[in-house]
Amino acid sequence: MVNPLRYGIIGTGMMGIEHIMNIAITDDAVVTAISDPHEGSRDWATSTLTHDVDVFTDHRDLLASDRVDALVIASPNFTHASVLEDIWATDLHVLCEKPLCTTLEDAQEVTRRAASHKGVFWVGMEYRYMPPVTRFVEEVHGGTVGTLKMFAIREHRFPFLPKVGDWNRFSRNTGGTLVEKSCHYFDMMRHVVQAEPVRVYASGAQDVNHLDETYGGETPDILDNAFVIVDFDNGVRAMHDLCMFAEGSRHQEELSAVGHVGKAECHIPDGNVTLAPRDPKDVQTIHVPVDEAVLKAGYHHGASYFQHLDFQKAITEGSAPKVSAEDGLKAVAMGLAAHRSIDEGRPVLMSEFGL
């Protein structure tokens, strides 16, 4: 690996900026080039950076510049497949933001191509890397709750933020809310449960947000709340509770794992992990601190920083990515299954998506 590792950022909206800020506090790494067709986004990136970089409006020019060793793809969801089509001809390492793609077909093709790509191919699933969540997962996998039976993830938060060109107001661009927003949590389900999904049941709607907005004569069609239940092949049941008009919540994310001997909880942004055995009833709350500089470098409770450390380690050691294209594909498929369940009012088998 070249030292320092030279990054190119494709897409310099909010997530692209988060990656720039985290690379800036990572040893042996530097952003050397950025690309975005939108002038305001390019200006945001250059004002965030503390050094000069090559600036491109077209990612293909960045790829041809021979100025980078690794790429972060943080462009809009619906562009990932086409951007990657140009990247396959290179040997560059890739961190592709979630969701991997917006359609099953694109995600399957990307997964197929990633399998033979010479560089590391990593899917950005930040929620795995929040330090309190990492500790929570360690407790569950270490047997603190006994044999896991139920796992739940709640996100109660603010509505979708505005994006350039308002692309995120329409499901055709995002893949749908349960792909765009919740693929993180479907990935977390598989990560915690350590099994594969079999059946998905969901109920959701667009009840509050964006109903009075129009763009080019169209009203947004993105869901703002849902419940999703997933049955896994090892018998564990998992549930996702999403509400995007709940800004007043004390905790934006709450995770709960219950096994035959106890329960573990994790709350973000408090950063606490609570362990509650059934017998004796001795509840313990552990605060998991995160360095202030890391917290300030993004919007995911320090996760992007720790994800970059692992991404760079995979590059240095030539090891397999901890979050693969296959993981990205399965998270997208679970979100699509949840949308199908809502649209058709029935349980959906993952076998319908070839999984």
Strands 93-97 and 70-73: parallel
List the alpha helices (DSSP H) in the chain.
14-24, 39-48, 59-64, 80-87, 104-114, 131-141, 171-174, 177-180, 183-193, 292-295, 303-317, 325-344
- Does residue 99 have a cis bond before it (omega within 30 degrees)? yes
Strands 70-73 and 29-35: unpaired
Whether 1 has a pLDDT exceeding 60, the answer reads no
Whether 39 has a pLDDT exceeding 60, the answer reads yes
* Residue 88 Cα distances to 69, 71, 246, 312, angstroms: 14, 12, 41, 20
Cα–Cα distance for residue pair 97/345, rounded to 1 Å = 30
Cα–Cα distance for residue pair 290/308, rounded to 1 Å = 16
pLDDT at 2: 65
Q: Would you tell me which CATH number, out of the four given (3.40.50.720, 3.30.360.10, 3.90.550.10, 3.50.50.60), belongs to the domain 128-303+320-353?
A: 3.30.360.10
Q: Would you tell me which CATH number, out of the four given (3.40.50.720, 3.90.1150.10, 3.40.190.10, 3.40.50.1220), belongs to the domain 5-124?
A: 3.40.50.720
Tokens describing residue 314: 């995979």
Question: Is-contact 164 40, C-beta < 8 A?
Answer: yes
Q: Report percent pLDDT > 70 for the chain.
A: 99
pLDDT at 25: 97
pLDDT at 3: 85
Compute the mean pLDDT over every residue in the chain, rounded to the nearest whole number. 97
Tokens describing residue 310: 């692992």
What region does 71 belong to: left with phi over 0, alpha with psi -120 to 50, or beta?
Answer: beta
pLDDT at 53: 98
Whether 10 has a pLDDT exceeding 70, the answer reads yes
pLDDT at 215: 95
Whether 341 has a pLDDT exceeding 90, the answer reads yes
Q: What is the average pLDDT across 28-42?
A: 97
- Domain regions of the chain by residue span: 5-124, 128-303+320-353
pLDDT at 120: 98
Report pLDDT digits (tens) over 228-280: 999 999 999 999 999 999 999 999 999 999 999 999 999 999 999 999 999 98
The residue among 141, 155, 120, 138 whose CA lies nearest residue 308 is: 120
The residue among 302, 305, 274, 278 whose CA lies nearest residue 287 is: 274
Q: What is the average pLDDT across 319-339?
A: 98
More confident residue, 343 or 298: 343
Tokens describing residue 329: 């594909």
pLDDT at 313: 96
